[in-house]
Amino acid sequence: MKERAILLFILFIILLPIDGHGQDLPSAEILTADAAWCDLSNNLTVADILITGEIDTSRFDLVVAIQGTRDTLVNLPSGIFQLYLNNQLGLNEYIVYKVIEYQEYFTLENDVNDTLIMEVYPWPEMTFTAEFESQCSPAEIVFRAKEGYPSYTWNFGDGTRTSTTTNWIRHTYTSQEDVDEINFQTGLQIRTSFGCVDSVQDEITIYPTPDAGFQASPELLFYPNTTVYLTNNTSAGSWDFLWDFGDASRNYTRDPGEHIYSTWGVYDIEMEWSTSMCSGSVIKEIEIRPPAPEAHFSPDTSGCPPLLVNFTNSTLYADTYAWDFDDGTYSTEVNPSHIFHESKSHYVKLVASGLSGSDSLEQVITVFDIPVAMFEPSTTETNNLEAEISFDNNSVGGVRYLWDFGDGSSSEEESPTHIFNSSGTFTITLYAWNSDECADTLIMEDLIRIHDGEGSSTFPNAFMWNGSGPTGGHWTPGSIDNTVFHPDIENASELRLIIFTRLGHRVFESNEVYVGWDGYINESELAVQGVYVYKAWITYSSGEQEVLTGDVTFLH
């Protein structure tokens, strides 16, 4: 019984600490507060856990869960234990579930359930670019970085720094004029909203440019003075120069000294400087004005209205023109054409203007008077085809005339008479010229009307020799002439006339209405005085025909 009692006591002693009766339980407390940080490449982030027990020399186990994976950390001393964290991007959860204390004779356990929440954010990977049109000083550079960060700190490498909330910035670099080039060490630092910081560096090369300029004197000249003096004020340096004087001539020296122009005008003088990397130019304008204008034009002429004059402008040193034609009309053309209608002396004036002033010239254009063509016929209507119609010329100022009777015939008489010889309606035209050869025309449409009438023919019974020689027998209707044997005839269109001796010998024949017998045989031999026999075949305009015969006495 005594041994059994001792065994039960020992068992009681062993089980008593496990139940915690009268013993201090171990504890484990996470000292590190919940936090967030940036991803570290060395993965050395730790959390402090304080382990305490009833006996400081005890050894301890921790039952933990890391990102949901349960594990037991064994044989840990009391005090602060550093737990290395996984440092994975995102939300990381660490839970201490239980702490176990191992004493020499007892084992004590305590549930803790302490949780640590750590948020790991990605480390920013920053780059930036430089955009520019030229790297020549002053060079405007636009820097651009990745978007999405709240703060950008820019270091331009030339002693200036600035911070922005945008991912870009514009900066202008300048360089000294006496150096070949300057390299600026540029940098960018960004900070995320969680405090993660990254920085990047680059290099920008800027090339020098001079303080370029020149003087052109004088800037305003008057021809024939055309010499311009040039002074190069560009700062010292190894610059190359090209001068363009605006007149197709060039110079490649630093100091050309002077330039002589051949004529007037407005010229842009351009001085271009350059290096192997950069170039630029400066432009100045000079003006050489021409002499004062000298107005000249032609012709100073005369003529009949409407008078067309083509003016030739030979003015010197002008660029604008004003013409006054003295008839209420004007022009600004260089070489105008103008029609003058009014008969008078027109004092045409040209005012020529240019940069150096104006000049004027007046010339006389004489427009002659014109005649006025007028006439009146003796009659406008008749039934006699052989009627002789006279025309009275009532023109004013005319000295020379031409008539067109509308039947293919014409006349240059002042007041002619005319036989139309056929029926129809005829338009009469009169052209009249004065002493200046100016003309006027009067056209009277369908003025004369000749109707077909009854024909008639009457032959005389005697005629006489003209006493001078053969005439060919031509006669004019309406005229009184007894030296040619012919019928007094009206409205005849055809006539055949034969003359016989009393013995029946033929001495004359005609097939024309207005050709009769002048008493000659074979156009040269005068017929003897005596009685002859005639026979005539007549066709009238109406178509009627008639044959007449009879005797005629030829007298010397």
- C-alpha 135/C-alpha 74 separation (Å) is 66
Residue recorded with tokens 């063509």: 373
The Cα angle at residue 318 between residues 316 and 321, in degrees rounded to 5: 115
In the three-class reduction of DSSP (H, G, I as helix; E, B as strand; rest coil), residue 89 is classed as coil
Cβ–Cβ < 8 Å for 313, 334: yes
In the prediction, which pLDDT does 446 show?
96
The predicted pLDDT at position 422 comes to 84
Whole-number Å distance between alpha carbons of 206 and 137 = 6
Pairing type for strands 492-500 and 506-510 reads: antiparallel
- The distance of Cα 230 from the centroid of its chain, to the nearest Å, equals 37
| 384: CB partners within 8 A, 6+ apart | 453, 490, 491
Q: Give the pLDDT score at 179.
A: 66
CA 293, CA 221: separation in Å to the nearest integer? 16
Name the 3-class secondary structure at 352. strand
**CA 418 vs CA 18, 425, 427: distances in Å:** 170, 14, 13
Residue with tokens 């053969």: 470
Strand partners, 170: 142
Q: How far is CA 376 from CA 373, 392, 410, in A?
A: 11, 5, 16
| Backbone phi and psi for residue 12, each to the nearest 5 degrees, phi listed first | -65, -40
pLDDT in tens, the chain (556 residues): 334 333 333 333 344 444 444 578 999 999 999 888 787 666 567 899 999 998 888 999 999 999 889 999 999 999 999 998 877 788 889 999 999 999 988 999 999 999 999 888 887 888 899 999 999 999 999 999 999 889 999 999 999 999 999 999 999 999 876 667 899 999 999 888 777 888 899 999 999 999 999 999 999 999 999 999 999 999 988 899 999 999 999 999 999 999 999 999 999 999 999 998 899 999 999 999 999 999 999 999 999 999 999 999 999 999 999 999 999 999 999 999 999 999 999 999 999 999 899 999 999 999 999 999 999 999 999 888 878 899 999 999 999 999 999 999 999 999 999 999 888 999 999 999 999 999 999 999 999 998 877 788 999 999 999 999 999 999 988 778 899 999 998 888 899 999 999 999 999 999 999 999 999 998 889 999 999 999 999 998 778 899 999 999 999 9
Strands 545-555 and 462-464: parallel
Tell me how far apart the alpha carbons of residues 349 and 344 are, in angstroms, rounded to a whole number: 15
Angstrom CA distances, 501 to 54, 152, 507, 508, 554, stand at 197, 147, 7, 10, 11
pLDDT on residue 43: 59
d(CA 128, CA 167): 9
Residue 257: which H helix or E strand, with range?
A: none
Cα–Cα dist 207/199, whole Å: 26
Do 243 and 251 touch, CB atoms closer than 8 A?
yes
Where do we find the tokens 């012919």? 486
As given in the structure block, the two tokens for residue 222 are 């008057």
CA 424, CA 302: separation in Å to the nearest integer?
43
Query: 93 by DSSP, 3-state: which?
Result: strand
Report how far residue 243's alpha carbon sits from residue 36's, in angstroms, rounded to the nearest whole number: 67
Peptide bond into 306 cis (omega under 30): yes
Contact partners, residue 542, CB within 8 Å, separation at least 6: 452, 453, 454, 455, 491
Strand intervals (E) in 421-476: 424-433, 439-450, 456-458, 462-464
Predicted TM-score of the model (pTM): 0.46
Tell me the domains of the chain and their CATH numbers. Answer: 2-121 (2.60.40.10), 128-206 (2.60.40.10), 214-289 (2.60.40.10), 297-367 (2.60.40.10), 375-450 (2.60.40.10), 456-555 (2.60.40.1220)
Where does 103-173 show beta strands of DSSP type E? 107-121, 128-131, 139-145, 151-155, 161-164, 168-173
